[in-house]
């Protein structure tokens, strides 16, 4: 199993589909699918969830809580 450190900008691509997040969205989605299958492990620094949550709250305030809950699940 491979381990990856996923930057917040990659995680944002899982939740926001706009022109600013289009670059490399296919790779980001494939990485998520690989992890969901159990074929990849994500290693993150302690502040990662806070960083992702802050961006989601700013860009998609109506769905940010649900998106962060999905990350933590």
C-alpha span between 68 and 50 (Å, rounded): 9
CB atoms within 10 A of CB 71: 16
pLDDT tens track for 6-65: 999 999 999 987 776 678 889 999 999 999 999 999 999 999 999 999 999 999 999 999
Structure confidence at residue 21 (pLDDT): 66
**H/E element holding 32?**
helix 25-36
Structure confidence at residue 38 (pLDDT): 95
Structure confidence at residue 17 (pLDDT): 79
Structure confidence at residue 73 (pLDDT): 83
Torsion over CA of 18, 23, 27 and 29, rounded to 10 degrees?
-10
Structure confidence at residue 1 (pLDDT): 87
Of 6, 1, 3, 4, whose CA–CA distance to 49 is shortest? 6
Structure confidence at residue 51 (pLDDT): 96
């Amino acid at each position: 199993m491979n381990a990856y450190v996923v930057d917040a900008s990659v995680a944002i691509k899982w939740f926001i589909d706009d022109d600013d997040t289009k670059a490399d969205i296919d790779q980001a989605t494939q990485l998520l699918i690989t992890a969901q299958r159990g074929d990849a492990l994500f290693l993150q620094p302690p502040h990662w969830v806070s960083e992702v949550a802050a961006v989601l709250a700013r860009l998609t305030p109506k769905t940010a809580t649900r998106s962060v809950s999905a990350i933590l699940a």
